[in-house]
Amino acid sequence: MIIVLRSGVSEETVDAVIARVESLGFAAHLSRGTHRTIIGLIGDEDPAIVGRMKSIEGVAEVLPVLPPYKLASREAHPQDSVVNVSGVKIGGGFLGMIAGPCSVEEPERMDRIAQAVKASGANLLRGGAYKPRTSPYAFQGQGEDGLKILRDVGQKYGLPVVTEVTDPRNVDVVCRYADMLQVGARNMQNFVLLTEVGRTNRPVLLKRGMSATITDLLMSAEYVLSQGNANVVLCERGIKSFDPSTRNLFDVAAVPQVKQLSHLPIIVDPSHATGVPSLIPPCAMAGLAAGADGVHIEVHDCPAEAKSDGPQALLPTQYTDLMAQLRQLAQLLGKQLAA
């Protein structure tokens, strides 16, 4: 890291700063410029120590050289990570295609939707059994009963299942049924929950928070990785915007940006990003073209009857058409849908 000293500091202050940082275990290299004096440090960039250095007399700035998300960074892991979800690979040229309704519904409907998305080429089935809703009066999900329905339908059609976990107290029960744990946008910085899912052996789908920066997202991934769970897939699902024409702002540039900064796979969720069925296919294509490792789509056979988020769901026939386009694009990009 680099310490930038204030203009006009005395030699005694410079010597005192060097002595202080060396006492903290760093090797110091002094460099004098025309207007500024800087000290380069070699040692462990502990955030707590960085904070202490900022309080040293004569110090103007402390600039970390390495990113704070050490385990998630590309420097720590130059090769792309590949996450295996019960046989379905995501990353490293393999695409995870996640599809299903927002909420787990009655078994007959879940069966119809799963059959349709499997026939279209989806390789992971999604559905929420625990739903964090803005209103306490909205449908909150079916809990463990919903997990059983999702698991049974997934097994019937050979689709690993992805479902959201919203509470650290529910991690164990969700792990009994799910192949992949989803941490939603509202919980991206629920650090207790991130720590708990990091202690499991289940792959984690981590969605970007609605007001989160890319650094925020990668720091949240770091919580999971730091607990020993290396199987993290990131998800760009849109961020808050001033424009009400779409549900959120689809930040497609986040995909190549994350690819430069991190080795972790990243997929896109144009359903939540746009909230408009007609915009979902072009945004899905854009995400894949930008380098995404998969696409997360909400599908429902009768959106008007959906228990949650029906207006943003594609019909099965629309999903079939989209998957045909995504296959063609994947072929051009040299990627493949994991079986």
Give the integer Cα–Cα distance in Å for 338 and 256. Answer: 21
Assigned token pair, 303: 């959106």
Q: How far apart are CA 64 and CA 57, in angstroms?
A: 19
Query: Would you say 60 and 49 are in contact if contact means Cβ atoms under 8 Å apart?
Result: no
Superfamily of domain 2-63: Phospho-2-dehydro-3-deoxyheptonate aldolase; domain 1 (3.30.70.1140)
Alpha-carbon span 183 to 186, nearest angstrom: 8
Tokens of 233: 């897939």
pLDDT value for 193: 97
Per-residue pLDDT of the chain (339 residues; tens, 9 = 90+): 788 888 888 888 888 888 888 888 888 888 777 677 888 877 766 667 777 788 888 888 887 777 888 899 998 788 999 999 999 999 999 999 999 999 999 999 999 999 999 999 999 999 999 877 667 766 666 789 999 999 999 999 999 999 999 999 999 999 999 999 999 999 999 999 999 999 999 999 999 999 999 999 999 999 999 999 999 999 999 999 999 999 999 999 999 999 999 999 999 999 999 999 999 999 999 999 999 999 999 999 999 888 877 889 999 999 999 999 999 999 999 999 876
| Structural element, H or E, at residue 232 | strand 232-236
* CA–CA dist 94, 229 (Å, integer): 20
Q: Name residues whose C-beta falls within 8 Å of residue 73's C-beta, 6 or more positions apart in sequence.
A: 66, 67, 218, 261, 262, 263
> Pairing mode, if any, of strands 2-5 and 37-42?
antiparallel
Predicted pLDDT of residue 160? 98
Q: What is the DSSP string of 11-45?
A: HHHHHHHHHHHHHTT-EEEEEE-SS-EEEEEES--
- CATH fold for the domain made of 83-337: TIM Barrel (3.20.20)
Same topology for domains 2-63 and 83-337, yes or no?
no
What pTM was computed for the model?
Answer: 0.85
Contacts (Cβ under 8 Å, ≥6 apart) of 294 = 90, 95, 96, 97, 98, 233, 265, 267, 268
Closest Cα to residue 65, out of 29, 114, 99? Answer: 29
Task: Domain ranges for the chain, please list them.
Answer: 2-63, 83-337
